[in-house]
Amino acid sequence: MQLMSVHLPESHLVSFGEFGSANSTSVTEFELLGFLDLQNFHTPVFLILLVIYLLILSGNSVIFTLIYAHPRLHIPMYYFVAILAVLEVFYTTVTMPKMLADLQRSTPSISLPGCLLQIYFFHALGITEACLLTAMAYDRYLAICTPLKYPTTMTPKRCFQLVLACFTCGFTCH
């Protein structure tokens, strides 16, 4: 079984510079070969992944909506859960639509800028999610270890600062 190989079309490989006949590589597009053993199963795999993607979208939307709609859930722990739900939607939306579209094409491919953008956002959102989970752990630590100080320590302003720090770290620190 061959996993996610990249095939570079011959037309994109050789170019001649203006200072002689030096070869250089110029890649503009990647052809994604994927799982070669699953060529006959693209439609079932597409349907399974589509159902999973729709469940992710709807489940996280329900979580966010419930937290937003109920004032009793407007506490730091649930703010973090709501942000995590939104991050999860963005995180899966970085890759799933392209994967679903490529399953319907005969020659799936991705442009170099598209590939770089997808890698950037995938890693940035992943780092942001890891930082947010750390902030959530810190929130629970404060709630358990210092319950009397917790309401004055973990204010909405502090929550916002922690979330902003998570996004800053995720989108600038890699």
Per-residue model confidence as pLDDT tens digits over 142-163: 999 999 999 999 999 999 999 9
Look at residues 53, 66, 145, 136 and name the one whose alpha carbon lies nearest to residue 100.
53
Residues 84, 89, 90, CA angle at the centre, nearest 5°?
95
Is residue 7 pLDDT above 80, yes or no? no
Contact of 142 with 153, CB cutoff 8 Å: yes
DSSP state, residue 22: -
Is residue 9 pLDDT above 90, yes or no? no
Percent of the chain's residues with pLDDT above 90: 63
Higher pLDDT, 7 or 32: 32
Report d(CA 144, CA 138) in Å as an integer: 10
Residues 129, 84, 46, CA angle at the centre, nearest 5°?
85
Confidence of residue 174 (pLDDT cuts 50, 70, 90): low
Q: What is the pLDDT of residues 29-71, one digit of tens each?
A: 877 776 666 677 878 889 999 999 999 999 999 999 999 999 9
Report d(CA 29, CA 9) in Å as an integer: 8
Contact of 27 with 12, CB cutoff 8 Å: yes
pLDDT of residue 14: 41
Q: What's the average model confidence in pLDDT over 68-90?
A: 95
pLDDT of residue 157: 94
